[in-house]
Amino acid sequence: MRTTKENLVIAISMALFVLLLSLVLAVGGLGYILPPPQVRLIASWYLRVTFNPFERLFSAMAPEGVTSIVWDFRGLDTLFETTVFYLAIIGSIAIARGVIGGHKEVDEKKLGLSLIVKSVTRISLGMILAVAASIALHGHLTPGGGFQGGASAAVAPLILLVVFSRYFIEKHGITKNTMLILRSIGLFGIGMTAFIVVIIALASGAPAFVFQNQPKTIAPTGMPFEIGGALTGGTLWFFNVFEMVAVAAGFTIIFLLLAIPEEEYKKILRLGGGEHE
Amino acid sequence: MGFDYILVIIGEVLIAIGIFCDLVASIGMLRFPNFYVRLHAATLGTIGGAVVPLIGAALVAAGSDFLGTYRWFMAGGAVITAILVLMLAPAGSHALARAAHRSGAAKVFPKIADHLEEDRGGMK
């Protein structure tokens, strides 16, 4: 329990903090124009070239600036971020190796929450997936993208896990191994999309960059930015789709591993740990 | 013009009902004696205080001619949100109440009758 004196000290220090911070802002500690104009130069450059048919050599040809920056202007950076995320998932799978999680033969009707919650979940499941798909598939046109769409799609298996229990969804195909396969398909797609322009250019003998999207000065090959008048953003659409699959499957693996009871882990520990599946 | 005006008035009335429900719900949350009655107050806040004013906002948006075509986007978004809340909030509070009763985490203390407890076989 906190005493009154401690509460008083906390309150006064919080008030002092806010006052000092406002003083710093008021006397111009961070400059008088926020954000500073130096940042605005680079921002205006991105705004100019994100979708600009008159400057094809600099443009990403997708109207959504964030996705253009994430998957085109700094594409390799995003690739390595993605790699970090999947290394983390691989690490957690490695920690849980040998833990099967017990395929109990149980009565499905008695598992999970009540019938009311189950029905509502069944109705809302399709809507969750539809929203996730729209976030990811329109990622090059409207705010959103592959990671956001995948994270939204992972809500669906999470809700299934809570409402129907892990035994139920593992019986119906959402297991660690199928998710691992899906995740690998997503990662393979991301890798292939990074090289697709190179592969096209190799066929015609022209030079090309890895992670290239639109034509550049010395590498004239590029992805088409529209198909039949619909904007695709070249490689951006493919990156978003594959990233969604990979992220959704990766998060599902984590949720499945977290849902394994502590007892199962303890069983493995008691055995000495060395056994593999 | 006249029809739009009627829509806006009905929408504002619904929003006013929502404000009243929210006020009653917040008083109930503070004053009610145990978990289950407080949950009842909370559901009053979600249905009466969120779904009803959302439909009211949809009607106001539909009646606001100066917004142009975009008023239909706003109205549609509000109606869909209202339907989702109407469907999901009761399921959530039902799951909460059921779990609390089954686990015995929340005592039914000032009680007149607890038929569910009798059905499950008496006192815990």
Backbone angles phi, psi at A227, to 5 degrees: -125, 110
| pLDDT tens digits, one per residue of A64-105 | 989 999 999 988 899 999 999 999 999 988 888 877 665 666
Confidence label for B124 from pLDDT (cuts 50, 70 and 90): very low
pTM of the model: 0.80
Short-list B56, B53, B71, B68, CA closest to B9: B56
Judge: B94–A124 Cβ closer than 8 Å, yes or no: no
Q: How high is the mean pLDDT of chain B?
A: 90
Chain B residues at the A interface, defined by Cβ less than 8 Å, are 84, 87-88, 90-91, 94-95, 98-99
DSSP state of A101: -
Nearest-by-CA chain A residue for B84: A124
Where do the structural domains in chain A lie, given as residue ranges? Answer: 72-271
Provide the CB-side half-sphere exposure for B79 (13 A, CA). 12
**Do the chains contact at A114 and B88, CB–CB below 8 Å?**
no
* A123 in contact with chain B, both atoms CB, cutoff 8 A: yes
Task: Write down the ipTM of this complex.
Answer: 0.80
Helix (H, G, I), strand (E, B) or coil at A218: coil
> For residue B28, which of B47, B42, B46, B12 has the smallest C-alpha distance?
B42
Q: What digits encode the pLDDT tens for the residues A147-187?
A: 999 999 999 999 999 998 888 888 888 888 899 999 999 99
